[in-house]
Amino acid sequence: MISTPDHWHTLISVMALRSGKDVQCEKPTLTIDEGKTLIREVRKRGKVLQTSTEDRAVPVYHRMAELVRNGRVGTLEKIEVILPKQPTVPGNPTPQPVPPDLDYDMWLGPAPEAPYTKDRVHFHFRWIWDYSGGIICDWGTHLFDTAQWANNTEQSGPTEVDGKGNHWEGGLYDTVKDYDVTYRYANGVVMTCTSGNPSLKFIGSKGWVGNVGWRGKLQASSDKIINSVIEAGETRLFTNPAGEHRNFLDCVKTRRDPYFPVDIGHRVSTVCHLANLSIKLGRPLKWDPVKEHFKNDNEANRLQTRGMRKPWSLA
């Protein structure tokens, strides 16, 4: 079970896989290319990897995805994703003495050398580009997963992303601060992402379904949608109500993929990275979800990967 800051996720996962272990690892990857590496290692070695989030076992998200997949809102047209607000202060970059009980060099690991400050480590690492991807990678990995699940694009992804926003300045934090992101899919669905009270809404040609607040109550444009029964022969989405840990342990025994396997986890992380890269570059990007590269955009493709501080390597 890997529960480290994001910049360690793939490296430790790969080391564990290469030593013959099955893995449950928290989301997300640090880069798009890390996800590709993780898939290769899992499939090459025939191991089980669970992308560790609870969402697929949460009844409201599972129900939402099944209703949309079975056409209860008609043809899906739009998905609205709202992620929670972030801290209001940019972090203190002033160097401080390293606590005696912290191996800070190991905490940094593959990340660039940097002076210690308490605002750099533990939870606050999420707002620093060297270790994470900000709120979009943190909460986006949760809510984008249900969005991809319901849109039947969990093994694919959007074809275009247009991210507008800015970054933290004047302090330690440097990930995206304010943002307004629009994705377009090959099936015509448009997905938007802004900040506020975390919520999801799926809008179709015959109505909508969604919720407001983390694990908030299911809402819909009609009681008929809410009370709809998924009949025999319709699409049933695999879950385990007991949660991702029980599901992982079951799959260690059966050798089957868990409900959030490595390739689907990678695709969700990619959705997050696409938003960050569009905002970082200050322009829309065209993405080929089959070949997994940006179309005619060498600058964006170079940002699919990052170097690692020696001696750490995925080689």
CATH (domain of 200): 3.30.360.10
* For range 85-99, the mean pLDDT: 93
Does residue 88 register a pLDDT over 90? Answer: no
Over residues 144-155, the pLDDT tens digits come to 999 999 999 999
Please give the model's pTM, rounded to 2 decimal places: 0.97
**Which pLDDT value is given to residue 156?**
97
Domain count, the chain: 1
**Which pLDDT value is given to residue 237?**
98
Residue 108, domain member (yes or no): yes
**Which pLDDT value is given to residue 87?**
81
Over residues 155-178, the pLDDT tens digits come to 999 999 999 999 998 999 999 999
Does residue 56 register a pLDDT over 90? Answer: yes
Does residue 3 register a pLDDT over 90? Answer: yes
Distance set, CA 162 to CA 75, 135, 158, 184, 271 (Å): 23, 17, 11, 9, 12
Residue 298 domain boundaries: 56-233+262-302
Residue 38, domain member (yes or no): no
Residue 91, domain member (yes or no): yes
Q: Please, which residues have CB within 8 angstroms of residue 293's CB and are 6 or more apart in sequence?
A: 287, 301, 304
Over residues 105-138, the pLDDT tens digits come to 999 999 999 999 999 998 999 999 999 999 999 9
**Which pLDDT value is given to residue 283?**
98
